[in-house]
Chain A
Amino acid sequence: MPRAEGEIVTADGRQREFMTTEPDDAALVREAAQRGLPGQLAFETLVDRHQHWLVRLLAHLLGNQSDAEDVAQDAFVRAFLAIESCGDGARFRGWLRVIARRLAFNHRRDSRARARYEEESGLPVSLARETMTGQLGERDLLKRVLDELAYPYREIMVLRFVEELPLKEIAEVLEIGESAAKMRLTRARAEFQREYEKRGGRRGDTGPA
Chain B
Amino acid sequence: MATPDLLESDWIHGVFEVLREELVSLAADFGDRVKHEIDQVAAVEAVRPPSAVALLASVAVETGNIAGSLLTAAPATDDDPHDEEDE
CB distance from B84 to the nearest CB of A (A): 62
Select B38's contact among A44, A192, A205, beta carbons within 8 Å.
Answer: A44
> B47 an interface residue at 8 Å Cβ cutoff?
no
Which among B8, B15, B33 is the interface contact of A73 at CB below 8 angstroms?
B33
Q: How many of A's residues come within 8 Å of B, CB to CB?
A: 46
With contact pairs A40-B39, A142-B18 given, residues A59 and B33 touching in the complex (Cβ less than 8 Å): no
Interface size of B in residues (CB-CB distance below 8 Å): 32
Is B12 touching A193 in the complex (CB atoms < 8 A)?
A: yes
Asked if A91 CB lies within 8 Å of chain B CBs, one says no
Contact (Cβ within 8 A) A207 B26: no
Residues of chain B within 8 A of A167, CB atoms compared: 3-4
Query: In terms of DSSP, what is the predominant structure of the interface of chain B?
Result: helix
A-B contact count (CB 8 A): 108
Chain B residue nearest to A185 (CB atoms) is B1
Name the interface residues of B1-29: CB closer than 8 Å to any CB of A. Answer: 1-4, 7-16, 18-20, 22, 24, 26-27
Whether the Cβ atoms of B16 and A161 lie closer than 8 Å is yes
CA distance A172 to B19 in the complex (A): 23
Starting from the known contacts A47-B34, A52-B26, A77-B37, 4 additional A-B residue pairs (CB-CB under 8 Å) come to A69-B26, A77-B41, A164-B7, A207-B11
A interface vs B, CB < 8 Å? 35, 40, 43-44, 47-48, 51-52, 55-56, 59-60, 65, 69, 72-73, 76-77, 80-81, 138-139, 142-143, 157, 160-162, 164, 166-167, 182, 185-186, 189, 192-193, 196, 201, 203-209
- Identify the 7 closest CB pairs spanning chains A and B, nearest first: A207-B9, A206-B14, A161-B16, A166-B4, A56-B24, A206-B11, A139-B18
